[in-house]
């Protein structure tokens, strides 16, 4: 099912023409309406007339998260505040939040792009969708909410938390789709299993999970636990929120809605474009947003793009799973380590629950690297030899995948804290010393 066939299946050449027109327009718009962009362009000796097509995009300066912080709260708005009908914000881990503003037209674009995502995941007006992303300044809850209303589905606006009630109402209201973070989906699944409510009494068919990196193995785990098909949905506050892209039924890549959000992949070191298919940093330019346009925003997300047509009929570019964020990457004893690598090892081994915590510290100038991982009840044993053998097995596997040897600590089932929103998988104490 395709929500906007004209756009989602548009021939590449046509899409390029549309992007050319929109890029020219948005650059001139940003130049004339946002002093920040005007100054940046003037500093590099550029005028809007220098941008004739997407071929010229590399002439434009980048925008980074710090720019949003420096212009906190409303310095990047391109319209008078009287035109802004909604604000959202993302707290991040340090410093001031970043704030984004939407005009009425922007909310319309957002609803449209989330509607495309829902259709791509096979959710229609006949479905009811339990939205268990947080409502509020976080874009997850209200973003999905608007999309479900746009397609005419039934929204169940649960927000996150209150897990027992989530399950009770999911059961009683017969929700067909669930939208939340993958880590919360796991928690919901575990709680359903323990609740004693028979799974056949649930009508859940589809999940739309995102807002944090997850792996193929985690997908399998969630699908088995909840008896559903799980789709990856991607987005970020700075660009619009959830719905920058989503998987279709073919599930080989996340289609990005590139008529609104123009993607580039750059080598994070040289900031030069890489060939399609090669992994690098994802950079977006919003082509239509009025309230707060973003020009060449560096997401720090690492992925690759594929331009071949998808068997679903869509031509919209496909993005690989996000490998991680360049700023999530840990450098431990000189080796680059992504939490997603740790996660994929844990999930490929049947003995472990999909819950883990990485702790990094520095002792006598040497990095320490500890992974706490939960053993499944059926493998948790009183016999020390069995646990030692299990520990050895996972340590060796980690070492071969990551390249360095972690210290693995096997912990009891259900002993690690569960997450209601974005999971916290890493504690890096090295910054504190
Ligand atoms: O997380 C928006 C969102 C809400 C997306 C609900 C999907 C569903 P932020 O809080 O600004 O916005 O965080 C954006 O989260 O740059 C990625 O690093 C990460 N992220 C988002 N979706 C995915 C995903 C929302 N599907 C940041 N896979 C992004 C991996 C994701 N990482």
Check whether 95 has a pLDDT greater than 80.
no
Distance CA 276, CA 280 (A): 10
Q: Which of 146, 219, 234, 422 to mutate to test the pocket of ligand 1 (most atoms within 8 A of CB)?
A: 234
Distance CA 397, CA 394 (A): 5
Is the Cβ atom of 179 under 6 angstroms away from ligand 1?
no
Which token pair is 291? Answer: 């309230």
386 plus 302 within the same structural domain: no
Is the Cβ atom of 297 under 6 angstroms away from ligand 1?
no
277 plus 208 within the same structural domain: yes
Is the Cβ atom of 322 under 6 angstroms away from ligand 1?
yes
Q: pLDDT value at position 431?
A: 67
Which token pair is 77? Answer: 């708005």
CB atoms within 10 A of CB 385: 8
Q: pLDDT value at position 211?
A: 95
Q: Which domain holds residue 313?
A: 1-325
Check whether 93 has a pLDDT greater than 60.
no
Distance from Cα 244 to the centre of ligand 1, integer Å: 10
264 plus 349 within the same structural domain: no
Q: Concatenate the DSSP letters of all residues of 293-359 into one string.
A: --SSEEEEEEE-EE-SPPTTS--S-EEPPP-EETTT-EEETTEEE-HHHHHHHHHHSTTEEEEEEEE
Distance from Cα 209 to the centre of ligand 1, integer Å: 10
- Pairing mode, if any, of strands 280-286 and 426-428? unpaired
Distance from Cα 213 to the centre of ligand 1, integer Å: 8
Distance from Cα 46 to the centre of ligand 1, integer Å: 32
pLDDT tens per residue across span 56-77: 999 999 999 999 999 999 999 9
427 plus 290 within the same structural domain: no
244 plus 341 within the same structural domain: no
Question: How many separate domains does the chain show?
Answer: 2
pLDDT tens per residue across span 237-253: 999 999 999 999 999 99
Q: pLDDT value at position 334?
A: 87
Domain boundary among 294, 325, 356: 325
Q: pLDDT value at position 329?
A: 86
> Which residue in the block uniquely carries the two structure tokens 């996000």?
322
User: Which residue's C-alpha comes closest to atom 21 of ligand 1?
Assistant: 211
Query: Residue 302's beta-bridge partner residues?
Result: 281, 324
348 plus 289 within the same structural domain: no
* CATH number of the domain residue 409 falls in: 3.30.300.30
Is the Cβ atom of 184 under 6 angstroms away from ligand 1?
no
Range 280-288 average pLDDT:
98
253 plus 341 within the same structural domain: no
Looking at every residue in the chain, the average pLDDT score rounds to: 95
* CATH number of the domain residue 24 falls in: 3.40.50.12780
pLDDT tens per residue across span 367-384: 999 999 999 999 998 899
Domain boundary among 278, 301, 325: 325
Is the Cβ atom of 180 under 6 angstroms away from ligand 1?
no
Distance from Cα 422 to the centre of ligand 1, integer Å: 9
**Ligand 1 atom closest to 422 (CA):** 1
Model confidence at 433, pLDDT cuts 50, 70, 90, reads very low
Range 254-283 average pLDDT:
97
Check whether 347 has a pLDDT greater than 90.
yes
Check whether 94 has a pLDDT greater than 70.
no
Q: pLDDT value at position 120?
A: 98
- Please state, in angstroms and as integers, the Cα–Cα distance from residue 383 to each residue in 197, 250, 313, 386, 393, following that order: 33, 45, 55, 6, 16
- Is residue 247 within 8 Å of residue 254, measured between CB atoms? yes
Range 230-239 average pLDDT:
98
Q: pTM, whole model, 2 decimals?
A: 0.93
Range 221-228 average pLDDT:
96
Distance from Cα 420 to the centre of ligand 1, integer Å: 15
Q: pLDDT value at position 303?
A: 97
Domain boundary among 298, 325, 352: 325
Lowest-pLDDT range, 9-18, 103-112, 187-196, 312-321?
187-196
286 plus 227 within the same structural domain: yes
Distance CA 429, CA 433 (A): 7
Is the Cβ atom of 280 under 6 angstroms away from ligand 1?
no
143 plus 156 within the same structural domain: yes
User: Which residue's C-alpha comes closest to atom 29 of ligand 1?
Assistant: 236
307 plus 381 within the same structural domain: no
- Is residue 8 within 8 Å of residue 316, measured between CB atoms? yes
Model confidence at 92, pLDDT cuts 50, 70, 90, reads low
Eight-state DSSP code of residue 199? G
Range 79-105 average pLDDT:
90
321 plus 357 within the same structural domain: no
Distance CA 20, CA 57 (A): 10
CB atoms within 10 A of CB 172: 9
161 plus 182 within the same structural domain: yes
Cis-peptide into 73, omega within 30 deg: yes
Q: For a pLDDT cut of 70, what percent of the chain falls above it?
A: 98
């Amino acid at each position: 099912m395709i929500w906007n066939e004209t756009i989602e299946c548009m021939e590449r050449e046509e899409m390029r023409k549309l992007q050319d027109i929109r890029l020219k327009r948005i650059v001139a718009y940003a130049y004339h309406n946002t002093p920040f962009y005007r100054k940046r362009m003037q500093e590099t000796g550029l005028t809007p007339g220098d941008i004739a097509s997407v071929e010229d995009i590399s002439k434009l300066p980048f925008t980074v998260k710090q720019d949003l912080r420096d212009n906190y709260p409303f310095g990047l708005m391109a319209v008078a505040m009287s035109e802004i009908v909604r604000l959202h914000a993302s707290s991040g881990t340090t410093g001031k939040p970043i704030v984004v503003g939407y005009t009425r037209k922007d909310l319309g674009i957002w609803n449209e792009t989330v509607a495309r995502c829902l259709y791509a995941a096979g959710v229609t007006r006949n479905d009811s969708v339990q939205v268990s992303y947080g409502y509020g300044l976080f874009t997850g809850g209200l973003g999905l909410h608007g999309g479900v209303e746009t397609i005419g589905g039934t929204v169940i606006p649960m927000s996150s938390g209150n897990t027992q009630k989530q399950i009770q109402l999911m059961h009683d209201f017969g929700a067909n789709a669930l939208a939340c973070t993958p880590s919360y989906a796991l928690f919901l699944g575990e709680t359903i299993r323990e609740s004693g409510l028979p799974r056949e009494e649930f009508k859940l068919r589809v999940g739309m999970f995102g807002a944090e990196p997850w792996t193929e193995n985690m997908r399998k785990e969630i699908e088995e636990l909840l008896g559903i098909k799980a789709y990856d949905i991607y987005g970020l506050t700075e660009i619009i929120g959830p719905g920058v892209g989503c998987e279709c039924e073919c599930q080989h890549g996340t289609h990005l809605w590139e008529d609104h959000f123009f993607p580039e992949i750059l080598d994070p070191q040289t900031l030069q474009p890489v060939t399609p298919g090669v992994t690098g940093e994802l950079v977006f330019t919003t082509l239509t947003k009025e309230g707060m346009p973003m020009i060449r925003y560096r997401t720090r997300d690492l992925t690759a793009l594929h331009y071949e047509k998808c068997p679903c009929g869509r031509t919209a570019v496909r993005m690989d799973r996000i490998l991680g964020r360049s700023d999530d990457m840990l450098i431990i004893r000189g080796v680059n380590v992504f939490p997603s690598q740790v996660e994929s090892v844990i999930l490929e081994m049947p003995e472990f629950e999909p819950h883990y915590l990485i702790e990094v510290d520095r002792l006598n100038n040497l990095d320490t690297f500890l992974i706490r991982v939960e053993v499944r009840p059926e493998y948790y044993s009183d016999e020390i030899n069995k646990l030692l053998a299990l520990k050895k097995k996972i340590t060796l596997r980690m070492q071969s995948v990551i390249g360095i040897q972690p210290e693995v600590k096997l912990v009891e089932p259900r002993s690690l804290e569960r997450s209601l929103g974005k999971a916290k998988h890493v504690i890096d104490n090295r910054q504190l010393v």
